[in-house]
Structure 1
Amino acid sequence: MKTVIITGASTGIGKTIAQLFLEKGYNLVINSANAANLANTYNELNNPDKVAIVPGDISLIETGKKLIETAVLRFGSVDVLINNAGIFEPKSFLDVEEKDLDLFLSINLKGTFFTSQSAVKQMLQQGEGNIINIGTVLVDHAINGFPATAPISSKGGIHAFTRQLAAEFGKNNIRVNAIAPGIIRSPLQAKTGVNNADSLAGLHLLNRIGETQDVAELALYLAESNFVTGEIINLDGGHVAGHSI
């Protein structure tokens, strides 16, 4: 029986990942900064024997530590960590203030970094483990009409962090990969001012946007793979591969 920790699991991609992993028999430790949303998701999952919740801001190192401690105390191990928690918001480069950049770096990069650090300490004791980070295709394929230098800078750090961590701990059988989604139908779109996510379908060669289930299925594959590490996998309907004209 394996245990997965999922940050940012109360809505959208994280919630769908939680639902799929629970269906596949995993024990879950789920997190969100929004305690009310997290409690709602916990109730929807309706499996208290296999699900534990840890509300808290992932930019705080103590939140990551508590996630690992909860997983070990409740279920005995930390087999998979999915660093899904993150924020994303467009803002013109010339309007970005120090507090804006600090916020993205703290939640997106710092949260991923130090939660992974706590997880790796436990995984070393176990002799193996698996970490899955969430980046974005916009690191490799920027969009003129979507100014987002601050969040993309933090996501670029996650991409670099993924490969370096995989290199440092591959010999310990700790696999580290990242998923770089394209446009995915989720509550995040409305938060970034996109009221009709399907209007962005043309960014993808498949001429449609992705679903949260697509991300969840790739996360499950990576969680169960024994020979994939150091990869940034674009899940983007062809966004990075080419252009439609």
Structure 2
Amino acid sequence: MGMNAQKVAVITGASQGIGAGLVEAYRKLGHAVVATSRTIAPADDAGVLAVRGDIADPATAERVISAAVERFGRVDTLVNNAGVFVAKPFTDYTAEDFAAVTGINLAGFFRLTQLAVGQMLAQGGGHIVNITTSLVDNADARVPSVLASLTKGGLQSATKSLAIEYATRGIRVNAVSPGTIRTPMHDPQTHRFLAGLHPVGRLGEIGDIVEAVVFLENAPFVTGEILHVDGGMSAGH
């Protein structure tokens, strides 16, 4: 398989947690990977190109897509995994909180996805997966999270809009909507409380989300889907 025939995945928030799991999964699928985050280290694997940068900065998006095309010749999949979650009462959010959350969750998604779609159109197709949160569909008084709902809810709506806009042009757009996943983002002392937010009574694992993304990757008739992987959170309590 020549490098220009090999599929290429771009993954944001790729240095740890779900993002790192996605890098490994796409390599197992045979994709080359462009992995980006603010703290990502150079990869030992020649099939993984690490691009360090803040995804909230549009210049990072430009560098990531340029690097993907220069190194591997194409972009077949974009997983918008990077995200920040700040749980506070609504009136406690600061201007800095608003800027940080909207910068990563919305601005970072917007420019990178524009550039990826442009490249996919030139190639004749591609796939975008957005990582959202099930709190968008089922708010919980125990977890005040308006900024998450504002931003990830926007991503969820954009998923459907993009899926329809590009349905006849070979680009699929889907989302995975997780519950709370056991990642380095969560202090182990909070795990018991967080597990209780799910009807199944436990936290999700990184592999649960990775497997959902891989399912969507291999499902050519699925687009515009919001796949809930949340231990029943979106169904009710």
Give TM-score, length-normalised by structure 1.
0.90
Secondary structure of 1:70's aligned partner: helix
CA RMSD of aligned residues (A): 1.3
| Deviation per residue, 1:189-238 (Å, 9 max, x gap) | 23xxx633243223223222110011111111112221111111111011
Instruction: Map 1:39-188 onto structure 2 (within 5 A).
Output: 39=41, 42-43=42-43, 46-47=44-45, 49-188=46-185
Aligned residues: 232
C-alpha separation in 2, matches of 1:242 and 1:91:
22
Secondary structure of 1:196's aligned partner: helix
Contact 2:212 2:227 in 1 (8 A): no
Contact 1:183 1:197 in 2 (8 A): no
Match of residue 233, structure 2, among 227, 232, 239 = 239
Instruction: Map 1:28-39 onto structure 2 (within 5 A).
Output: 28-34=33-39, 38-39=40-41
For the pair 1:197 / 2:188, whether they are aligned, the reply is no
Percent identity over paired residues:
43
Cα deviation for residue 114 of structure 1 reads 1.1
Instruction: Map 1:203-222 onto structure 2 (within 5 A).
Output: 203-222=197-216
Unaligned runs of 5+ in 1: none
Cα deviation for residue 242 of structure 1 reads 2.8
Cα deviation for residue 8 of structure 1 reads 0.4
C-alpha separation in 1, matches of 2:159 and 2:152:
11
Contact 2:86 2:97 in 1 (8 A): no
Structure with more helix by fraction: 1
Q: Which residue of 2 aligns with 1:22?
A: 27
| Deviation per residue, 1:37-71 (Å, 9 max, x gap) | x11xx44xx31x20101110101112112111111
C-alpha separation in 2, matches of 1:202 and 1:99:
30
C-alpha separation in 2, matches of 1:143 and 1:242:
10
| Deviation per residue, 1:6-52 (Å, 9 max, x gap) | 00000111011111111221101000012xxx11xx44xx31x2010
Q: Which residue of 1 aligns with 2:3?
A: none
Partner AA of 2:236 in structure 1: G
C-alpha separation in 2, matches of 1:174 and 1:72:
18
Contact 2:176 2:226 in 1 (8 A): yes
Consecutive aligned runs of 4 or more in structure 1 exceeding 6 Å deviation: none
Give TM-score, length-normalised by structure 2.
0.93
